[in-house]
Amino acid sequence: DPAALVQVLFSLGEMVTATQSVSDETLQLLGAELDYNIQVVSPEDEDRELLESFDIEYGENEGGEEDLEARPPVVTVMGHVDHGKTKLLDAYRHSNVVAKEAGGITQSIGAYQVATEVDDRERKITFIDTPGHEAFTAMRARGAKSTDIAVLVVAADDGVMPQTIEALNHALAADVPVVVAVNKIDKPAADPTKVRGQLTEYGLVPEEYGGDTMFVNVSAVTGEGLDELLEAIVLTADASLDLRANPDMPAQGVSIEAHLDKGRGPVISVLVQRGTLRVGDSVVCGAAHGRVRAMIASNGELVDEAPPSMPVQVLGLTAVPGAGDTFLAVEDDRKARQIAEQREARQRAAQQARGARRKTLDQIFEQMEKGEVQELALILKGDSAGSVEALEDALLKIDVGEDISVRIIDRGVGAITETNVTLASASGAVIIGYNVRAQGKATQLADQENVDIRYYSIIYQAIDEVEAALKGMLKPIF
Measured from the CB atom, the residue of 73 and 131 that comes closer to ligand GDP is 131
Strands (E), 49-135: 69-70, 74-79, 111-118, 121-128
- Smallest distance from ligand GDP to CB 211, Å: 24
Residue nearest ligand GDP, Cβ-based: 84
Measured from the CB atom, the residue of 183 and 276 that comes closer to ligand GDP is 183
What strands, in cross-sheet order, belong to the sheet with 430-434? 404-413, 374-382, 430-434, 453-456
- DSSP code, position 322: -
Rounded to 10°, the helix 385-396/133-141 angle is: 100
Q: Work out which of 124, 142, 145, 187 binds ligand GDP, going by CB under 6 A.
A: 187
Q: Note the Cα 168 to chain centre separation in Å.
A: 18
**84 belongs to the binding site for ligand GDP (CB under 6 A):** yes
**4 belongs to the binding site for ligand GDP (CB under 6 A):** no
Ramachandran angles phi, psi of 156, nearest 5°? -70, -20
Measured from the CB atom, the residue of 86 and 422 that comes closer to ligand GDP is 86
Q: Work out which of 48, 71, 83, 411 binds ligand GDP, going by CB under 6 A.
A: 83
Does the annotation flag 129 for ligand binding? Answer: yes
Range in contact with ligand GDP (rule: CB under 6 A) among 80-88, 160-168, 195-203, 454-462:
80-88
Range in contact with ligand GDP (rule: CB under 6 A) among 21-29, 77-85, 359-367, 430-438:
77-85
Q: Work out which of 81, 173, 241, 302 binds ligand GDP, going by CB under 6 A.
A: 81
**86 belongs to the binding site for ligand GDP (CB under 6 A):** yes
Residues 306-335 that bind ligand GDP (CB under 6 A): none
DSSP assignment string, 164-185: HHHHHHHHHHTT--EEEEEE-T
Does the annotation flag 403 for ligand binding? Answer: no
Q: Which residues contact 112 (CB under 8 A, 6 or more apart)?
A: 92, 93, 97, 126, 127, 129, 298, 299, 311
Does the annotation flag 238 for ligand binding? Answer: no
Residues 201-240 that bind ligand GDP (CB under 6 A): 219-221
> Alpha-carbon distance 165 to 160, whole Å?
7
**133 belongs to the binding site for ligand GDP (CB under 6 A):** no
> Alpha-carbon distance 259 to 43, whole Å?
23
Which residues in 224-261 are b (16+ Cβ under 10 Å) and which e? ebbbebbbbbbbbbeeeeebebbbebbbbbbbbbbbbe
Interface map 241-270 toward ligand GDP (x if CB under 6 A): ------------------------------
Q: Work out which of 14, 82, 248, 375 binds ligand GDP, going by CB under 6 A.
A: 82
> Alpha-carbon distance 347 to 287, whole Å?
9
**87 belongs to the binding site for ligand GDP (CB under 6 A):** yes
Residues 144-183 that bind ligand GDP (CB under 6 A): 183
Task: State which H helix or E strand residue 216 sits in.
Answer: strand 215-217
> Alpha-carbon distance 404 to 312, whole Å?
42
- Smallest distance from ligand GDP to CB 220, Å: 4
Does the annotation flag 143 for ligand binding? Answer: no
Amino acid symbol at 405: S
Residue 153's nearest CA partner among 52, 81, 228, 98 is: 81
Does the annotation flag 250 for ligand binding? Answer: no
Range in contact with ligand GDP (rule: CB under 6 A) among 79-87, 139-147, 363-371, 452-460:
79-87
Does the annotation flag 116 for ligand binding? Answer: no
In the chain, the N- to C-terminal Cα span, in Å, equals 39
> Alpha-carbon distance 174 to 176, whole Å?
5
The length of the chain, given as a count of residues: 478
Residues 431-470 that bind ligand GDP (CB under 6 A): none
**275 belongs to the binding site for ligand GDP (CB under 6 A):** no
> Alpha-carbon distance 112 to 104, whole Å?
16
User: Total number of residues binding ligand GDP (CB under 6 A)?
Assistant: 16
Neighbours of 27 (CB within 10 A): 16
Does the annotation flag 475 for ligand binding? Answer: no
Does the annotation flag 183 for ligand binding? Answer: yes
Measured from the CB atom, the residue of 87 and 454 that comes closer to ligand GDP is 87
Measured from the CB atom, the residue of 257 and 325 that comes closer to ligand GDP is 257
Does the annotation flag 386 for ligand binding? Answer: no
- DSSP code, position 250: B
**93 belongs to the binding site for ligand GDP (CB under 6 A):** no
Does the annotation flag 80 for ligand binding? Answer: yes
Runs of H (alpha helix) within 304-332: none
- Smallest distance from ligand GDP to CB 132, Å: 8
Does the annotation flag 131 for ligand binding? Answer: yes
What strands, in cross-sheet order, belong to the sheet with 111-118? 111-118, 121-128, 74-79, 149-155, 178-183, 215-217
Measured from the CB atom, the residue of 53 and 193 that comes closer to ligand GDP is 193
* Residues of each annotated binding site for GTP: 79-86, 129-133, 183-186
- Per CB under 6 A, residues contacting ligand GDP are 79, 81-87, 131, 183-184, 186-187, 219-221
* Residues of each annotated binding site: 79-86, 129-133, 183-186
